[in-house]
Amino acid sequence: MDILFNGEQGPVLVLAHGSGAPADSVPMERLATALAAAGFRVRRFEFPFMAQRRTTGKRRPPDRPPVLLQVWREVIEEVGRREPDADHLWIGGRSLGGRTASMLLTPEQRPEPVSGALVFGYPFHPPRRPEQWRTDHFAELERPLWIAHGERDPFGKRSELEPRMPFPGPVHLEWVADGDHELMPTRRSGLDPERVLATAAESARAFVKATETDR
């Protein structure tokens, strides 16, 4: 099983990609680098549909949820074998990867080592389909779910989400000012994209530290 490594200290964070770009894409590399700098041991992997795309060169839709969740379990087990000294193991990712990670926090799905999930751009609904919400499982979560979400993300803009907040369950959302689905601000905002991403990573690390203190 191929696993990409960033960072050698801190809690382990297993990070999954979204539906459109692989584990070693520029957005995933930038995110993993920022998280490692914030104090995580980041471990990235790839779902079968993306690995097959590398082989065939053809774009294909994501695997069905049962397949994705099973791959998650296998990766979590493999990371646990490779890094038995890790006190706590967190999971998360971008978009599809983050959503599937959150699904593993329900009682019937959660692998024992998982402490919670960190998501960077949650796909609350498909773009231009705000009636198709993907939050039904939030009320069933038994571990914390932290989300960094861009204010103008087409998968759930701030104006669409705020009337539904607070979400049920242990869900904490932090807004990324002027951010899109990759948490990137517009040029006219004057914000430094690297600083924005670093701030999100540092907030995620602070959240994890707070949960460890509460135990």
Show me where the domains of the chain are located.
Answer: 4-214
pLDDT value for 214: 62
At 215, the pLDDT band (50, 70, 90 cuts) reads low
Residue with tokens 């049920």: 168
At 112, the pLDDT band (50, 70, 90 cuts) reads confident
> How far apart are alpha carbons 15 and 34 in whole angstroms?
13
pLDDT tens-place string over residues 116-126: 999 999 999 99
Comparing 60 with 127, the larger pLDDT belongs to 127
pLDDT average, residue stretch 53-81: 93
Pairing of strands 41-45, 4-6: antiparallel
pLDDT at residue 87 is higher than 80: no
pLDDT tens-place string over residues 26-37: 999 999 999 999
55 exposed, middle or buried (CB, 10 Å; 0-12, 13-18, 19+)?
exposed
CA 97 to chain centre: 6
pLDDT tens-place string over residues 154-197: 999 999 999 999 999 999 999 999 999 999 999 999 999 999 99
CA 202 to chain centre: 14
CATH number, span 4-214: 3.40.50.1820
pLDDT value for 7: 85
Average pLDDT over the chain reads 94
Phi and psi, residue 147, nearest 5°: -130, 130
